């Protein structure tokens, strides 16, 4: 199921998608029997989440991913149900399952993420070919998430170069070694969260000014657009050397799963429609907040995004970089 040729398309490539299960309990007590209140199951993975929000916003999108087994069939069924075109490589191993345990306390959720894979060489070759096809048909290609067993951590470096060769702008949302390798190829946009940026730069941010200087450091590495997400605070962004503070609207967050992926979708949706960076950041923060208001791994609705956009405050940060 694939869309026709169109330079306005935003493709996503997910190497390690998942079936996300969110388990709700009153209070999680380790080493005890915990009674489950309810379970919500949804398709997951950074690129999958991004495509789902893009579709809800009305963008043309294509989801490329490794899928396998009954769990892979579940993810594919969600994509079909939501009318999201996809071009996936079917793997011999099943798509992984990730479990998130949420309780009614203020404590962060507890997550259990399977590694995913192993991916066979022939399967990787097939995905690289699909990535080439997607790049030739897209304005942007989003690469996101962890790398499954059997795939080298430098895979994003290879994929970002494929996007560039196809004439598409690459967007990277990963962490650890996969992120470090990908940055070397200078993608158009990166979206680390605060912890990921601190880890990569070997620093600890004590203020938004520290985050802003970090965004400038990525600009010095050749990254045109850096967005460092700050959870409910919003994001600090650097676009063509100018730093911005995007303050997210105050909403009642139910689950943060997929919020960062939705932020990317909102930003790219706006940029592809010719909006300026400040409007793009507003759309991104609104999309992220809308998803945070949704249960489990569900993605926010367009109507909520539209209501929240005007509540996002974006301002420039001007200072002499250190």
Residues 6+ apart with CB under 8 A from 171: 140, 141, 142, 143, 144, 187, 188, 189, 190, 191, 264, 268
Nearest to 50 by CA among 7, 82, 96, 22: 82
Domain that holds residue 72: 1-28+36-187
Residue 321 pLDDT > 60: no
| Burial letters 168-192, b for 16+ CB under 10 A, else e | bbbbbbbbeebbbbbbebbbbbbbb
Residue 227 pLDDT > 60: yes
pLDDT tens for 291-320 read: 999 987 889 999 999 999 999 999 999 865
Residues 181 and 246 in one domain: no
Mean pLDDT of 158-178: 98
Residues 1 and 135 in one domain: yes
pLDDT tens for 25-72 read: 999 999 999 999 999 999 999 999 999 999 999 999 999 999 999 999
Residues 137 and 244 in one domain: no
CA distances for 110 relative to 21, 98, 226, 261, angstroms: 12, 11, 28, 20
Nearest to 103 by CA among 20, 33, 18, 35: 35
pLDDT band at 322 (very low <50, low <70, confident <90, very high): very low
What pairing do the DSSP bridges indicate for beta strands 189-190 and 225-229?
Answer: parallel
| Mean of the per-residue pLDDT values of the chain | 95
Residues 120 and 139 in one domain: yes
Q: Give the DSSP letter string of 202-227.
A: T----SHHHHHHHHHHHHHTT-SEEE
pLDDT for 159 equals: 99
Residues 149 and 241 in one domain: no
Nearest to 52 by CA among 29, 77, 84, 27: 84
Residues 134 and 201 in one domain: no
- Where is the domain boundary, 155, 187, 219? 187
What's the Rg (C-alpha) of the chain?
A: 19
- Where is the domain boundary, 168, 187, 206? 187
Residues 230 and 283 in one domain: yes
Residues 238 and 182 in one domain: no
Q: ∠284-24-96 over CA atoms, to 5°?
A: 70
Mean pLDDT of 113-127: 98
pLDDT tens for 252-296 read: 888 888 999 999 999 999 999 999 999 999 999 999 999 999 987
Q: Domain with 269 in it: what CATH number? A: 3.40.1190.20
Say which of 245, 261, 298, 304 is annotated catalytic: 261
User: Terminus-to-terminus CA distance in the chain, angstroms?
Assistant: 50
Residues 14 and 158 in one domain: yes
- The span from the CA of 162 to the CA of 154, in Å, is 13
User: Is 42 in the active site?
Assistant: no
pLDDT band at 6 (very low <50, low <70, confident <90, very high): very low
pLDDT for 127 equals: 99
- Which strands form 89-90's sheet, in the order they lie side by side? 89-90, 61-67, 9-14, 138-144, 169-173, 189-190, 225-229, 234-239, 242-247, 313-317
Nearest to 258 by CA among 300, 318, 286, 210: 300
Residues 139 and 195 in one domain: no
Mean pLDDT of 63-85: 98
Give counts: helices (H), strands (E), the chain.
10, 14
Residues 243 and 169 in one domain: no
- The span from the CA of 286 to the CA of 308, in Å, is 5
- Where is the domain boundary, 134, 159, 187? 187
Q: Indicate the number of domains in the chain.
A: 2
Residues 131 and 102 in one domain: yes
Q: What percentage of the chain exceeds 70 in pLDDT?
A: 97
Burial (0-12, 13-18, 19+ Cβ within 10 Å), 226: buried
pLDDT for 7 equals: 64
């Amino acid at each position: 199921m694939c869309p026709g040729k169109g330079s306005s398309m935003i493709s996503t490539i997910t190497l390690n998608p998942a079936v996300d299960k969110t388990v709700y309990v009153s209070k999680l007590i380790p080493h005890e029997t915990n009674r489950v209140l309810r379970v919500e199951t949804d398709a997951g993975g950074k690129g999958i989440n991004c495509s789902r929000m893009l579709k809800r916003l009305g963008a043309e999108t294509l989801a490329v991913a490794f899928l396998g087994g009954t769990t892979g069939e579940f993810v594919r069924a969600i994509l079909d149900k939501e009318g999201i075109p996809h071009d996936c490589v079917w793997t011999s191993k099943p798509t992984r399952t990730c479990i998130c345990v949420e309780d009614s306390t203020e404590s962060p959720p507890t997550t259990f993420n399977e590694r995913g894979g192993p991916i066979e060489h022939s399967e990787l070759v097939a995905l690289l070919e699909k990535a080439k096809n997607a790049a030739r048909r897209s304005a942007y290609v989003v690469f996101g998430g962890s790398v499954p067993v059997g795939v080298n951590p430098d895979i994003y470096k290879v994929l970002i170069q494929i996007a560039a060769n196809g004439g598409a702008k690459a967007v990277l949302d990963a962490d650890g070694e996969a992120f470090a390798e990908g940055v070397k190829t200078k993608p158009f946009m990166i979206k680390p969260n605060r912890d990921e940026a601190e880890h990569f730069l070997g620093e600890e941010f004590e203020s938004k000014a520290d985050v802003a200087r970090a965004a400038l450091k990525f600009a010095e590495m050749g990254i045109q657009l850096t967005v460092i997400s700050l959870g409910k605070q919003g994001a600090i962004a650097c676009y063509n050397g100018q730093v911005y503070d995007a303050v997210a609207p105050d909403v009642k967050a139910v689950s943060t799963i997929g919020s960062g992926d939705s932020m990317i979708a909102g930003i790219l949706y706006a940029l592809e429609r010719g909006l300026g960076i400040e409007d793009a950041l507003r759309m991104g923060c609104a999309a992220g907040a809308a998803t945070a208001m949704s249960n489990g791994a569900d993605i926010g609705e367009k109507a909520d995004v539209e209501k929240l956009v005007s509540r996002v405050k974006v301002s420039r940060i001007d200072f002499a970089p250190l």
